[in-house]
Structure 1
Amino acid sequence: MHVLVVHNRYSSAQPSGENNVVDQEVALLRAAGHRVGVFERRSDDIAALSLRGKAAVPLLVPWNPAVRAELAARLRAERPDVVHVHNVFPLLSPAVLAACADAGVPVVATLHNYTQVCPPGTLQRDGRPCSECVGSTPLPAVRHGCYRGSKLATVPLAVSLAVNRRRWWSGVERFFCISAAQRDVLVRAGMPAERLAVKHNFVPDPAPDARRLGAGEHLLYLGRLAEAKGVRMLMAAWDEIAAGGGAGVPLVIAGAGPLEGEVTAWAAGRDDVRHVGLYDPEQCRRAIAKSVAVVAPSTWLEAFGLVVVEAMAAGVPAVAAGHGAFVELVDDGVTGLLHRPGEPASLAACLRRVTAEQDRNGEMGRAARRRYEQGFSPTVGLKRLVDGYRTAIAGRTGGGDGPPPGEDKSTGSPRASRASRDGDSR
Structure 2
Amino acid sequence: MTATERTVAVVAPYYPPKVGGVENYAARIARAVAEAPGLRPVVITTRLSGLRTTVDVEDGVQVIRLGAWLKLSNTPLSPLWPLQLRRWLRRTGAEVVNAHAPVPGLADLAVAASGKRPSVLTYHAGSMHKGEPGSGAADRLIGLYERRVLPKVFRRARTLVAVSPVSLAAGHPHAVEISPGVDIERFTPGQPASERPRTIVYVGRMDRSSAWKGVDVLLTAFAELAAEVPGARLRLVGGGDAVQDHLRLAADFGIADRVEAVGELTGDALVEVVRTAALAVLPSRTEAESFGMVLVEAMACGTPVVGSAVGGIPHVVTDGETGLLVPPGDPAGLAAACRKVLTDGGLADRLGARGRQEAERRFAWNGLMERYIKLFQAL
Q: Same fold (TM over 0.5)?
A: yes
Structure 1 unaligned spans of 5+: 115-120, 129-140, 148-153, 394-426
Residue type at the aligned position of 1:105: R
Which protein is bigger by CA-based radius of gyration?
Answer: 1
Picking from 208, 211, 222, the partner of 1:238 is: 222
The equivalent of 1:180 in structure 2 is: 165
1:221 partnered with 2:202: yes
Superposed, 1:47-196 pairs within 5 Å as 64=79, 66-76=80-90, 78-87=92-101, 92=106, 94-101=108-115, 104-114=116-126, 122-126=128-132, 144-146=136-138, 164-165=149-150, 167-183=152-168, 193-196=172-175
Q: Alignment partner of 1:21: what SS?
A: helix
Tell me the distance in 2 between the aligned counterparts of 1:122 and 1:18.
15
Picking from 235, 259, 272, the partner of 1:286 is: 272
Residue type at the aligned position of 2:343: A
Tell me the distance in 2 between the aligned counterparts of 1:113 and 1:174.
16
Tell me the distance in 2 between the aligned counterparts of 1:78 and 1:46.
21
C-alpha RMSD over aligned residues: 3.3
Picking from 207, 217, 227, the partner of 2:186 is: 207
The equivalent of 1:4 in structure 2 is: 9
The equivalent of 1:352 in structure 2 is: 339
Tell me, yes or no, if the aligned pair for 1:200 and 1:381 is still in contact at 8 Å.
yes
CA deviation after TM superposition for structure 1 residue 375, in Å: 0.9
The equivalent of 2:366 in structure 1 is: 379
Picking from 31, 35, 40, the partner of 2:35 is: 31
Tell me the distance in 2 between the aligned counterparts of 1:57 and 1:329.
31
Tell me the distance in 2 between the aligned counterparts of 1:4 and 1:262.
39
Q: More strand per residue: 1 or 2?
A: 2
1:250 partnered with 2:250: no
Alignment deviations for residues 36-81 of structure 1 (CA, whole Å, 9 cap, x no partner): 1112222422599xxxx987888x98984x5344433444455444
CA 1:93/1:61 → structure 2, altered by over 3 Å: closer, same or farther?
farther
The equivalent of 1:17 in structure 2 is: 21
CA 1:341/1:86 → structure 2, altered by over 3 Å: closer, same or farther?
same
CA 1:57/1:319 → structure 2, altered by over 3 Å: closer, same or farther?
closer
Of 70-79 and 197-206, deviating more is 70-79
Tell me, yes or no, if the aligned pair for 1:176 and 1:196 is still in contact at 8 Å.
yes
Tell me the distance in 2 between the aligned counterparts of 1:80 and 1:54.
22
Residue type at the aligned position of 2:81: V
CA deviation after TM superposition for structure 1 residue 325, in Å: 1.0
Tell me the distance in 1 between the aligned counterparts of 2:70 and 2:279.
45
CA 1:8/1:77 → structure 2, altered by over 3 Å: closer, same or farther?
same
Tell me, yes or no, if the aligned pair for 1:223 and 1:254 is still in contact at 8 Å.
yes
Tell me the distance in 1 between the aligned counterparts of 2:33 and 2:203.
27
The equivalent of 1:333 in structure 2 is: 320
Q: Alignment partner of 1:40: what SS?
A: strand
Tell me the distance in 2 between the aligned counterparts of 1:193 and 1:174.
10
**How many residue pairs get matched?**
348
Tell me, yes or no, if the aligned pair for 2:279 and 2:304 is still in contact at 8 Å.
yes
CA deviation after TM superposition for structure 1 residue 292, in Å: 1.0
CA deviation after TM superposition for structure 1 residue 31, in Å: 3.1
Tell me the distance in 2 between the aligned counterparts of 1:261 and 1:276.
12
Tell me the distance in 1 between the aligned counterparts of 2:242 and 2:87.
43
Tell me, yes or no, if the aligned pair for 1:82 and 1:105 is still in contact at 8 Å.
yes
Tell me, yes or no, if the aligned pair for 1:86 and 1:110 is still in contact at 8 Å.
yes
Tell me the distance in 1 between the aligned counterparts of 2:158 and 2:297.
30
Tell me the distance in 2 between the aligned counterparts of 1:253 and 1:352.
18
Instruction: Output the TM-score relative to the length of structure 1.
Output: 0.72
Q: Alignment partner of 2:303: what SS?
A: coil
CA deviation after TM superposition for structure 1 residue 166, in Å: 5.1
The equivalent of 1:418 in structure 2 is: none
Tell me, yes or no, if the aligned pair for 1:335 and 1:365 is still in contact at 8 Å.
yes
Residue type at the aligned position of 1:246: V
CA 1:71/1:54 → structure 2, altered by over 3 Å: closer, same or farther?
closer
Tell me the distance in 1 between the aligned counterparts of 2:269 and 2:250.
20
CA 1:84/1:237 → structure 2, altered by over 3 Å: closer, same or farther?
same
Residue type at the aligned position of 2:14: R
Tell me, yes or no, if the aligned pair for 1:8 and 1:90 is still in contact at 8 Å.
no
Tell me the distance in 2 between the aligned counterparts of 1:214 and 1:42.
41
